[in-house]
Structure 1
Amino acid sequence: MDFKLNEEQLMLQDTAARLVRDAYGFEHRERFSQSEHGFSHAFMQQLGDLGLCAVPFAQAHGGYDGTGVENMLIMTELGRGLCLEPYLHSVIFAGGLITQLGSEEQKEALLPQLGSAALQMAVAVDEPQSHYQLHDVQTVAEPVTGGWALNGRKSVVVGGQSAGLILVSARSSHGVRDEKGISLFLLDPHDAGVRRRSFATMDGRMACELYLDNVFVKSSAVLGEVGQALPALRYQQGRCIAAQCAEAVGSMEAACALTLDYLKTRQQFGQPLGKFQVLQHRMVDMRIELDQATSMTLLAACVADQTDSDVRSRTLAAAKFIVSRASRFVADQGIQLHGGIGLTWEYMLSHHAKHLLMVARQFGDDDHHLQAYATLMQVTAAS
């Protein structure tokens, strides 16, 4: 199989790399993280102006018909720069759900805005008790005259603190943990009954807890068929997993480069640390984990947009498992090889380590995906 990028993909990769390199130094990131919403709206707008936010969307809606490979190229560079902007959750997750479930009117109204970065969205699917299970939904949607009334709580809504619209999953029928009866709603966070509590996550990104108290949404705000949203949520989360694996690979590449440079320059006992064979072996172990994660990320990117199937789901679960394991290993070893400086706030490696530990738990940790992989293998064997 030919894994070489074509000319357009190389240009896309170069555009994203130059933008991050020129606009996202460590000092810039620190300043962005202290802003009101925890990221740079100007940088997000640059992503839109350069067409990077429109890459995953169809040409009919102002996009470029990008695939999982194009998403991988962008997300790798955003991960390398530890960019704080909610590109993954707004463009890939929310945009993917609108593409899959939205009516033509909803697509025409929302996708061009997402593609130009005029609109930022978030997706609220996690709840305090759900623990990675998309069908564990206790937020309730009750039919009322002209629409629906939403009541419940959503947890760790990444980018939700600044989103103009939030996609909220709620149970419109059936019982708790039933895979049927889950609907998706377009919610204006400024509507009556909506409350957001913003907070910083471990890696410096911003998220919010979303509280819904008898919030009215119109019937036109339902995305897709009532009670049939779960398959789309699982499919689009798979696309997000592939993209997040790429983000982790970019961060791991940067962490490995920082560690190698430190070993070459830090002197101990009259010679660079890199002269000690045991440290060379640990650096090699880091690169082996990174290479395995890179290979699985490329495979995940190739299957991300394929038709939903057990093979696709199994591949994505395997990729997330390998990348989560590698992320933790690279973070831990990078800190160990640096010593105390690896934990300091003023040094970039500590932020990469925190981000990699966060990535390893988003959209399911390695235990969750190992179990999912094993279950899918059993299904295949039974059939």
Structure 2
Amino acid sequence: MQQLQSEPNDQFTDGLHRYLESRAQDIARSPGTIPADVWRDLAAMGLMGLSISEDRGGFESASHLCSAMETLGRHLVNPSGIIAGVMASRLLRAPGADAQLQERLAHGDADIAVVSDWSSDVTASPSNGGFVLNGIARHALSGERIDHVLMVCAKTAHPFSPKMLLLLRSDDLQGRTESFRLIDGSTGSLIRLDGLQVPAERVIADDIGDESDDALAWGLMCLCWEAVGAMSRLLDVTTAYAKTRRQFGVAIGSFQALQHTMVDMLLRTEVARDAALLAAAQIGNEDRNAKRVALASAKFQIGRSSQFVRERAVQIHGAVGMSDEIDVTRLFRRLMVVEQTLGSSDDHIAFLAVKSFERHSSSDD
């Protein structure tokens, strides 16, 4: 992960930055989504394969993925579909999973939604040679289109129940999916599964504890770096605005109170970047618990930092900061969605509190 600090402008990231600058108007016209031709171009650049091994058609590199997500965040590209693909590719590392589906993901040809156990309470019970699914998937992470749904579900309602992985077709979920627009323009989905009978061939893996944790870690890592990019962009546009907006005959950036506020925004952004770096450094850790704690800590810290930065950005811009004519509003909305995706700051600090209690309890014993 040191590459993220010492070589932030490598050829891949520079090329992605120049490409997104050239397509800024097209991206702005499609808030919450990635235009189809832009998606194809990003896939051709290899972005979709950065979480997939070379033998499956990708080029696995967490450091390049982090740099790419930061760049997407700076350029107001909503990467929900890309993050869903990243998580799907990690889940499909399970023994017996379809290798061809991973190759399609690497080339950007698969539209897959992901339901992690973090955002659902779905259980699968054996029935008539298949399984009956019960529960609600509160948020399926996906792009604009969904052909398949990768779903992690428990075998029982017990909190420590083994998890299994299912690949459902969109036809399997007809009449059970409620789609809606989130405040950033992206698509959200709620899936009600009470009593859904699915055949046994929908099961990809019978026990995916490791793959489920790994997919969640990669998804959180992507969200963290996207947020860092969005916060950096907010800081840039806010300081630029403060240099040009005049009040009482001078630029408002000359007011000491606003200078202090912008310095605090810079500090919070850099703290978020450090948290993301520490989390990314743990992405390859074979200790599941250490990796999960690192990612939860980063998501919590970045959630708190992004709240401060986005609120101060709107405050400095004033009323115009709440309009759709400038990027501040879109960045604000996207950061609010990132905060609630794959667990909020409150969710992750509660998780860390439980882990801390377990650690101290075991040491006392």
Please indicate, yes or no, whether the TM-score normalized by the shorter chain is above 0.5: yes
2:172 pairs with 1:191: yes
Output the TM-score relative to the length of structure 2: 0.90
Aligned residues: 362
Question: Counterpart of 2:76?
Answer: 82
Write the distance in 1 (CA, Å) between the matches of 2:172 and 2:41: 29
Write the distance in 2 (CA, Å) between the matches of 1:29 and 1:146: 47
2:353 pairs with 1:374: yes
Q: Structure 1 residues 342, 321: CA separation in 2 closer, same or farther (over 3 Å shift)?
A: same
Q: Structure 1 residues 160, 353: CA separation in 2 closer, same or farther (over 3 Å shift)?
A: closer
2:96 pairs with 1:96: no
Deviation at 1:153, TM superposition (A): 3.1
User: Which among 29, 32, 35 is matched to residue 31 of structure 1?
Assistant: 29
Q: Structure 1 residues 115, 9: CA separation in 2 closer, same or farther (over 3 Å shift)?
A: farther
User: Which among 58, 62, 87 is matched to residue 63 of structure 1?
Assistant: 58
Q: Structure 1 residues 93, 265: CA separation in 2 closer, same or farther (over 3 Å shift)?
A: same
- Counterpart contact for 1:239–1:305, Cα < 8 Å: no
User: Which among 357, 363, 368 is matched to residue 336 of structure 2?
Assistant: 357
Write the distance in 2 (CA, Å) between the matches of 1:329 and 1:316: 20
Structure 1 unaligned runs (5+)? 127-132
Q: Structure 1 residues 219, 28: CA separation in 2 closer, same or farther (over 3 Å shift)?
A: same
Moved more, 193-202 or 90-99: 193-202
- Per-residue CA deviation, residues 167-225 of structure 1 (Å, 9 max, x unaligned), is 123343x3x24321432210101236553322111222112222346545442321222
Question: Counterpart of 2:326?
Answer: 347
Q: Which amino acid aligns with 1:15?
A: G
Structure 2 unaligned runs (5+)? none
- Counterpart contact for 1:193–1:213, Cα < 8 Å: no
Pairs within 5 Å for 1:290-329: 290-329=269-308
Write the distance in 2 (CA, Å) between the matches of 1:7 and 1:337: 33
Q: Structure 1 residues 81, 282: CA separation in 2 closer, same or farther (over 3 Å shift)?
A: same
Deviation at 1:6, TM superposition (A): 7.3
Question: Counterpart of 1:129?
Answer: none
Question: Counterpart of 2:200?
Answer: 219
- Per-residue CA deviation, residues 114-140 of structure 1 (Å, 9 max, x unaligned), is 0100112111236xxxxxx56x62x34
Q: Which amino acid aligns with 1:279?
A: L
Output the TM-score relative to the length of structure 1: 0.86
Deviation at 1:84, TM superposition (A): 2.5
Question: Counterpart of 1:19?
Answer: 19
Q: Which amino acid aligns with 2:60?
A: D
Question: Counterpart of 1:159?
Answer: 142
Moved runs in structure 1, 4+ residues, more than 4 A? 1-9, 213-216
Q: Structure 1 residues 90, 364: CA separation in 2 closer, same or farther (over 3 Å shift)?
A: closer
Question: Counterpart of 1:130?
Answer: none
2:254 pairs with 1:270: no
Q: Structure 1 residues 310, 181: CA separation in 2 closer, same or farther (over 3 Å shift)?
A: closer
Q: Structure 1 residues 359, 86: CA separation in 2 closer, same or farther (over 3 Å shift)?
A: closer
- Per-residue CA deviation, residues 33-78 of structure 1 (Å, 9 max, x unaligned), is 48xxx442222111111111111111110111212x2221111111
Question: Counterpart of 1:148?
Answer: 131
Deviation at 1:345, TM superposition (A): 1.4
User: Which among 222, 239, 242 is matched to residue 218 of structure 2?
Assistant: 239
Q: Which amino acid aligns with 2:38?
A: F
SS at match of 1:156: coil
Q: Which amino acid aligns with 1:94?
A: A
Q: Which amino acid aligns with 2:160?
A: E
Q: Which amino acid aligns with 1:365?
A: S
Question: Counterpart of 1:207?
Answer: 188
- Counterpart contact for 1:165–1:188, Cα < 8 Å: yes
